[in-house]
Structure 1
Amino acid sequence: MAQTTEEVVNSYECSPDKQQMVHKLSISLAGDTPSRKHSKEDILRRHYQNLQHLEGCAKASQVKQVILPSAYSPSSVPLDDLQKISLDDLKLETHHRGCFVTGMTITPPYQFSETITIIQDESGSVASLILGFQDDSLLNSGASLPQNSTVAIKEPYVQMNEDSGYVIRVDHPSDIAVLRGDDPAVSMIMQFVAEKKEISPMEWKKEGDRAYLERKYSSAIECYTQAIDAGLKECDQTFVNDAYRKRAFANLAAESFQNAKADILSSCPEEAVDSKACFTIGRAAYELREYEESKNYFEKALQATPNDVKARKEYNRALARIGEQESGNYDFEKMIASVSDRHVRLDHADFNKTSAIGPTAYAGRGVFTTRDVQAGEIILCEKAFCLPNMYSGDGPTDSVLYNFNNGSQTRKFAQVALFQQLVQKLYKNPHLNQRLLELYAGDYERSGKEGDMVDGVPIVDSFLIEAIRIKNCFSSPRISRNLMKRAPPVQEKELTSAVWTRAAYTNHSCVPNCGRAFIGDMIVVRALHFLPAGTEVTDQYLSPDASFMYRRNMFPQSWGFDCACPLCSAEKRSPDSAHQKRRDLATKIKTEATKVPISTKLSTTTIKHIERLTKKLEDLHEPGIYATLPRLLLVHPNIWLMEAHRASKNHAKTVKYALELLRNFGFVNALEVEFQFEKGGLVNSESFGALRYAAEAFEALGKLEGKEKCMDAARRMYVVLGGCDVGRDEFLASGE
């Protein structure tokens, strides 16, 4: 279609401020009939104009602006119980409870920040349709709304729109059913449903076979389902059993593993399951992480066909996973070697034998040890529930998620991708819903129907998923041990955002008793010191340089709790005026110290000036409060002084400030070089670096006993920070 010279702006990518303004205007018109001033031709012209604009510019240079409008509940009513209405019956800012609309997509979809297409109903009326929950660039199956698709939208939500008068907005994937227009099997399904055409069981099965060979698994599953239903009516059990088995293979290919298992077992009695069926169930059980069941079925497959190489390989994989589950023994060297830019999703089982989720007296549920755990021992090793392979450094982002419900802006594209992938994962894997939906979601009001199966799909509340993501996601590198390098390359500092559903139950403490590390999509949680059975496992949510006043505000604001850890409880006894003095002086020291970079040769006068300010800051910490606790505001001044003296080759002062740094991280015996992992010490890359600098300086001073004590502590710290001891000695010897 022709593009007019004055219309060169992509109207589908308007700013969030404008969207919010239109949204407010739309709310003021709630219940009104939408304006019909835009003709079908105008709506189509604008849609093709936007498609042309998107294709004509570099997508990489644009920022995706994903919008979460005012929250509303997904439909929980079966389609058969809803009343059909036309597009002309729709009202603004109305969710049309008890109703549904149908239509056909008459344009190719626009896919960038949102998926947008134009639908037309039986009367010829048209409307813009927005899928707000899905970014098709993250999918491998092509467009989710190809042209000539038939859609049914349950309890549609309508908003005002300047381009088309109004739009139907779908934010929950369970609110829309799609029969894809690029699928030949759809025409048969439509003839059967709309035209009431009689189709034989064999025709259904043949069309299912065709769709399966074309890798259109959802259509194959639907065709086999119709074949099964028709075959049952004709009492042809042999035919039905064959259709069940074919549907099982389609479900396995579509990664619908629970259904694949059920179909195989429906195709024949348990005692009559053959080698191929056993293999299929074994594969499905493996993907469902039911490794013991998987092993048993592969054993049966091998009993029937002992020389089956594929079955033997899968059997050995299941045995390896069972070993990991039971003992927590992982081949960490192999695990680390397998991680690459393209490969971060690893094939390993979870280990949680030494921990359990239970109630706490102060913060809902938490993680507790089930037996005595030694310092450095694994408490938990878990595969991510969802982890986008999208890592970014500190550079610009290409995605922003605007949440109109709380005014937040999520500017890390991995977090935006995580939200969208979580929505899709729950929709496509109903058996996983409970794992995610049990997590804390702040004050988001649940309906209680989330995850229920309606019309063959689970009810998915996208707003609830985002509320859960905000409270439970972790930032993670590809491999944590790389962050321990003194100057890691930019790509090794890049982070993604992910959810680990068991680790998410770990509550916060500013002086935690565990440390976490990441290897691909595996999180490894280890004890920092001896933990008796029944001890609550605590982690750290905020960076250790945060002042008390900052932490006091951030915890309720971000996670909905007031921290009652030993450090916060003690610091509450110090008046706000004292905290403010310390914070102001720490800010002053940072300003003074950053005037001259460490790489520049520092004058003695500059170093002594920072030393005097740091001593003044130290004196502002009340001994009665901080005698055995971290003094976090002193951390960065100590880091600067340690590095400044190291650059000047003043080894004695390097030792002094390295040990001061350890003391300010809570290792109160560090000054006597009697370093132990003790309650209150913070294990992180900075304390690890302090040990290495101290060891280096001790060696230069000829104090080898001091060097060895620091190196011994660094070796133990390495295991916690890196998740394992792989490459430890080489790393410490390299001086990286």
Structure 2
Amino acid sequence: MASQDRGNTIYLTEQEAERIRKRAKERAEKCSEVKNNEREPREATPSIQQATGASLMADMGGAPDPDMIQAQGGTLPAVILDQPYPPCTVSLDELEPMSITDLKMETRHRGKKLAIKRASPVVGLAVRSWCMVQDEDGKETERLEFGLHKLRHAEEVLELTKFFVIKEPYFTMTDQGEATIRIDHPSDLVSLTEEIAENEIKDATAAEKAATRCKNKGNAALKEQDLPEAFARYSEGLKIATEHSISGLARDIARNRAHVSLLLGQLDGVLEDAKASLIREEDARSKDLDSKAYFRAGSAAYSLGQYPLAKKLFEEQQKLTPGDKDGKTYLKRITARQREQESGTHDFTKMRVNLTKARSRVDVATFTGNTEIKDSNSMGRGLFATRNMAADELIMCEKAFCVVWGHDREAMTAMTYDPRDDRIRVSPIGLSKAIVQKLLSNPSQIPPVMQLHSDHQRDEQAIYSTHDGPVVDVFRVHDIMSRNAFGPGTQFGEAGARNASTGLWLHAAYINHSCVPNARKEYIGDVMLVRATRAITAGEQIFHAYDQSSDYDARRAALMTTWGFACACALCEAETSESKDTRAKREELRGEADAFVAREHWANAKRLSIVKAQRLARGIEETYSKERYEGLPKLAARSIQEWLAKAKTRKL
């Protein structure tokens, strides 16, 4: 992830870091020892009582959370990233049933499915939740744990219903050595609604009554703003109405579900349901209802950035209700977005003026016409200029695929330990959760996200959906976020690394690193602008700096830890050939210069202050060999030189 302001660094004591490593390694050893062992039966009553008590304690905030650790400035979650495994990519009807008694330790039961019912309250912790479950006849009891992605629309998935089917269940151990069924990928857990039994629906009349009851329950839930419940009830009613060919009722429910899906951000579903709800009759009521459907579909297409489709849908809406002002407003906005998308003619001044903490996501289109994605030899895929561009010219303007601001409730920073390289990293897991949620809501967005670089080998034949719904590999999402996310800065007063704003920009993610970049980033809300720092010729690769630390050793370590590569740019080559004493002296002077800049504001600079700043700048400059650094940036002098430039301008 692109580096944040180093003024607010999170770090662990050696003892805490070692405790995380030890915990992960001990669990891995225990799991290895019991692999393929038969499951040991649990006693139902004490197990359920234990879960009930733990749930009460968690709700009251009185139970210790084993995932919370002490770090600089307070506590935060520690997430141990186990060896990744892929989600199940086949439908339920292709899996063979199994029972709880068939479970084997440290085993992913491929080709199997396990039907269960929740038997206890859910214990909701910071990064995971758990409960006790039983088989369908209640004879066997086992622990079920849901990992980081345990929420759906801010609600615990395990609390949405009592009945589930687990696809290819993974039976393992907790960090405390307790056996548990573990869910990591949300698509591996299929929630079952308490549907009306098929034998209760004996004819079309009974089916219509059942579907209507579901519709009314959905309407009631919508009135109470319980959107997940409304969506579930509409889905149940739509299934019944569709299976029994009750077309009018099916259209009504689909139209209502499209409205709820729009509110939930499930935009792909809006397009499908709105189309299914069209009546296409000439009477006034039918036209009015179809107008609503086109409006909802057009709104979804607009939010997905599909502006030609959105224009077509709103034009159809206007034919049915020509006086609708909201539709006309959307058509004007679509014209503006298409102009931005084609030519990059954005009104950045207006964007900045309208930006507020409450309106932090800007309504603009992405412009990438000056660039293309190509292979870049040793650097993998990269972004290249398609035409000549002058210094300071706009290279691209991109709206974030997903951004989590430090003031959002979704923001969450954790210390993550990856046993694959034995490294502990600061990770914005709130962004990872938000990306997964968006992909689950909009499966059409899964392929472009999953094609980004990660430690996982890209599967050209990857399966992203089954009959049961979208399939999202959460381990790959985490790696993609870690390698490709950016920090858009403290635009709205976020304090530091513990609540830093982070986001994912899909096109900008292809820009490779250089310590001598030819491009720079700036942000207006969730919009990233990339400008040329010098003249760029057509066919030239675009570079920006992932880490701008003047400390060569710190910069090299950050690039290796976060992105997994060693930079070989001209600046790194120059610094590599220097002595450690020279670099240490430079960093000492840079520290003095930064302290001076923090202490002395340039707007109040006196003559003596300017003289002192000039002396500091000269001292840093003298640590750089003129021949070796000709044409290269002198990073350590950056802050003091900027201060001097502003102070001198002020004096003039």
Q: Distance in 2 between matches of 1:605 and 1:246?
A: 71
Q: Distance in 1 between matches of 2:211 and 2:469?
A: 23
What is the CA distance between 1:198 and its match in structure 2?
4.2
Alpha-carbon contact 1:159-1:169 (below 8 Å) kept: yes
Q: Where does 1:154-165 land on structure 2 (aligned, <5 Å)?
A: 154-161=167-174, 165=178
Q: Distance in 2 between matches of 1:254 and 1:593?
A: 50
Q: Distance in 2 between matches of 1:596 and 1:331?
A: 37
Secondary structure of the residue aligned to 2:452 is coil
What is the CA distance between 1:106 and its match in structure 2?
2.0
Q: Give the corresponding residue for 1:695.
A: 649
Alpha-carbon contact 1:478-1:518 (below 8 Å) kept: no
Q: Give the corresponding residue for 1:471.
A: 483
What is the CA distance between 1:169 and its match in structure 2?
0.5
Q: Which of 631, 636, 641 does residue 634 from structure 2 map onto? A: 631
Gapped regions of structure 2 (runs ≥ 5) = 1-18, 69-73, 223-229
> Is 1:455 paired with 2:470?
no
Alpha-carbon contact 2:27-2:174 (below 8 Å) kept: yes
Q: Which of 538, 543, 546 does residue 543 from structure 2 map onto? A: 538
Q: Give the corresponding residue for 1:255.
A: 265
What is the CA distance between 1:269 and its match in structure 2?
8.8
Q: Distance in 2 between matches of 1:121 and 1:515?
A: 57
Q: Distance in 1 between matches of 2:611 and 2:424?
A: 43
> Is 1:401 paired with 2:416?
yes
Q: Give the corresponding residue for 1:642.
A: none
Q: Which of 41, 45, 62 does residue 41 from structure 1 map onto? A: 45
Secondary structure of the residue aligned to 1:387 is strand
Q: Distance in 1 between matches of 2:267 and 2:446?
A: 14
Moved more, 167-176 or 252-261: 252-261
Q: Distance in 1 between matches of 2:267 and 2:328?
A: 20
Moved more, 587-596 or 375-384: 587-596
Q: Distance in 1 between matches of 2:167 and 2:106?
A: 15
Moved more, 425-434 or 371-380: 371-380
> Is 1:527 paired with 2:538?
no
Identical amino acids, percent of aligned pairs: 26
Q: Give the corresponding residue for 2:572.
A: 568
Q: Give the corresponding residue for 2:215.
A: 209
Q: Give the corresponding residue for 1:230.
A: 244
Secondary structure of the residue aligned to 1:73 is coil
Q: Give the corresponding residue for 2:406.
A: 390
Letter aligned with residue 296 of structure 1: K
What is the CA distance between 1:29 and its match in structure 2?
0.7
Letter aligned with residue 622 of structure 1: S
Q: Give the corresponding residue for 1:28.
A: 33
Alpha-carbon contact 2:150-2:157 (below 8 Å) kept: no
- TM-score normalised by the chain length of structure 2: 0.82
Alpha-carbon contact 1:115-1:134 (below 8 Å) kept: no
Q: Give the corresponding residue for 1:643.
A: none
Q: Give the corresponding residue for 2:194.
A: 187
Secondary structure of the residue aligned to 2:398 is strand
Q: Distance in 2 between matches of 1:385 and 1:612?
A: 46
What is the CA distance between 1:461 and its match in structure 2?
1.1
What is the CA distance between 1:316 and its match in structure 2?
2.5
Q: Where does 1:419-438 land on structure 2 (aligned, <5 Å)?
A: 419-438=432-451
Q: Give the corresponding residue for 1:285.
A: 301
Alpha-carbon contact 1:99-1:154 (below 8 Å) kept: yes
Cα distance change of structure 1 residues 46 and 305 upon mapping to structure 2, 3 Å threshold:
same
Q: Distance in 1 between matches of 2:326 and 2:608?
A: 72
Higher Cα Rg, which structure:
1
Q: Distance in 2 between matches of 1:695 and 1:493?
A: 36
Q: Distance in 1 between matches of 2:469 and 2:84?
A: 21
Q: Distance in 1 between matches of 2:252 and 2:210?
A: 13
Cα distance change of structure 1 residues 63 and 616 upon mapping to structure 2, 3 Å threshold:
closer
> Is 1:51 paired with 2:58?
no
- TM-score normalised by the chain length of structure 1: 0.73
> Is 1:265 paired with 2:278?
no
What is the CA distance between 1:142 and its match in structure 2?
2.8
Cα distance change of structure 1 residues 270 and 417 upon mapping to structure 2, 3 Å threshold:
same
Q: Where does 1:11-410 land on structure 2 (aligned, <5 Å)?
A: 17-18=22-23, 20-36=25-41, 38-57=42-61, 63-113=76-126, 114-124=128-138, 125-134=140-149, 136=151, 140-146=153-159, 149-161=162-174, 165-179=178-192, 186-189=193-196, 191-192=197-198, 198=202, 200=204, 201-213=207-219, 214-215=221-222, 216-231=230-245, 244-267=254-277, 274-391=290-407, 399-410=414-425
Cα distance change of structure 1 residues 519 and 435 upon mapping to structure 2, 3 Å threshold:
same
What is the CA distance between 1:464 and its match in structure 2?
0.8
Cα distance change of structure 1 residues 284 and 275 upon mapping to structure 2, 3 Å threshold:
same
Q: Give the corresponding residue for 1:679.
A: none
Aligned residues: 601
Could you list the per-position Cα deviations for residues 424-468 of structure 1 after superposition, in whole angstroms to 9, with x for gaps in the alignment?
Answer: 2222210000121110003x2455554521123222111111111
What is the CA distance between 1:594 and its match in structure 2?
8.7
Secondary structure of the residue aligned to 1:104 is strand
Q: Give the corresponding residue for 1:683.
A: none
What is the CA distance between 1:343 and its match in structure 2?
3.5
CA RMSD of aligned residues (A): 3.8
Letter aligned with residue 100 of structure 2: L
Q: Distance in 2 between matches of 1:517 and 1:598?
A: 22
Q: Where does 1:662-677 land on structure 2 (aligned, <5 Å)?
A: none
What is the CA distance between 1:150 and its match in structure 2?
0.6
What is the CA distance between 1:151 and its match in structure 2?
0.8
